[in-house]
Amino acid sequence: MTRSVLGIVGGSGIYDLPGLEDAQWVTVSSPWGAPSDQVRIGTIDGLKVVFLPRHGRGHVYAPSDINYRANIDVLKRCGVTDLVSVSACGSLKEELAPGTFVLVDQFIDRTIAREKSFFGKGCVAHVSMAFPVSPKLVDSIEKAARAEDLTYRRGGTYLAMEGPQFSSLAESHMYRAWGCDVIGMTNMPEAKLAREAEICYASVAMITDYDSWHPDHGAVDIQTIIKVLHENAGNAQRLVGRLARDLPREHEACPHGSDTALEYAIMTAPDKRDPELLAKLDAVAGRVLNA
């Protein structure tokens, strides 16, 4: 069995988690370029926890400027087996009010300006994204949310938009017609790259306000939104802390194959593979390339 290592990608309210012992900021290099920041590594009740500030400390990277490949690569190099995304989002459903945490299980990717794969010319691979989150990891998150008495809903479709602007009214109505539940800018291509890296992934979408479709959208003042943001950050700390304490210490195999996604995914014949690309794939795909 593989020892569990919990990865968290999110904001400052998460990586300053109380109870994180022996914590230190560590620089991890990646052949895919510079990640958003150093990683903060510590332990909670003996479980190794690795935090990565998605936007960098001080929120220096816009969603389209994040080096998602480097971020996932360094988390893989740190041994992360289970990765939880914690991110702010807008609601596309009346019943999903600000302050609700949605445990996302599906995505629609509307981003257009981001590198979305570790693979390409010289080593082609195709992984399944039919079930993009790991249900056992979501089970653990749901258990933690119940234990902390948080307002949450399990299941929902996350619409990933390019940004940095928010959606127009027409776009917001279209996404609602598609059946989407929440809208954000960061979970793609993050979820796709985690799957390619054989890391179990789950997303906690923290609703801050309603998207532009809602009749009260323009009437919400910034103080109200900031209040919800602070409350969400505090609840996210509680959620992550409880998850870290209760997560099984031996990594459980994913029923949807998140942790074996590359088993039959690489299409390029061994003698046609680009050595330079293979060298960059040492962490992400080493399990199958070195078999």
For residue 160, is it within any domain?
Answer: yes
Is 249 one of the annotated binding-site residues? no
Residue 125 lies in a domain: yes
- The mean pLDDT values, 10 residues at a time, for the chain of 291 residues are 94 78 97 98 97 95 97 98 96 97 98 98 98 98 98 98 94 98 97 98 96 80 81 95 97 96 97 98 96 79
Would you name the residues annotated as active-site residues? Answer: 209, 211
Distance CA 38, CA 32 (A): 15
* Residue entry with tokens 């793609």: 188
- Domain for residue 8, yes or no? no
Taking alpha carbons only, the member of 56, 109, 54 closest to residue 86 is 54
pTM metric for this prediction: 0.96
Phi, psi of 184 (to 5 degrees): -150, -175
Q: How far apart are CA 213 and CA 161, in angstroms?
A: 15
Please state the domain count of the chain.
1
Any known ligand binding at 88? yes
What is the Cα 232 distance to its own chain's centre? Answer: 17
- Locate tokens 């690309």: which residue? 277
**Does 210 carry a binding-site annotation?**
yes
Residue 79 belongs to a domain? no
The per-residue pLDDT for 11 is: 79
Q: Is 15 annotated as a binding residue?
A: no
Residue 12 confidence (pLDDT): 66
Q: Does some domain include residue 216? A: yes
Q: What percent of the chain has pLDDT over 70?
A: 98
Q: Are 243 and 6 in contact (CB under 8 A)?
A: yes
Residue ranges making up the domain that contains 102? 85-289
Q: Is residue 3 part of a domain?
A: no
Question: 224 a known binding residue?
Answer: no
pLDDT of residue 1: 75
Is 151 part of a structural domain of the chain?
yes
CATH assignment of the domain containing 154:
3.40.50.1580
User: How many CA atoms lie less than 13 Å away from 148 in the CB half-sphere?
Assistant: 24
In a domain, 206, yes or no: yes
Report pLDDT for 176. Answer: 98
> Is 209 marked within a binding site?
yes
242 is in an annotated binding site: no
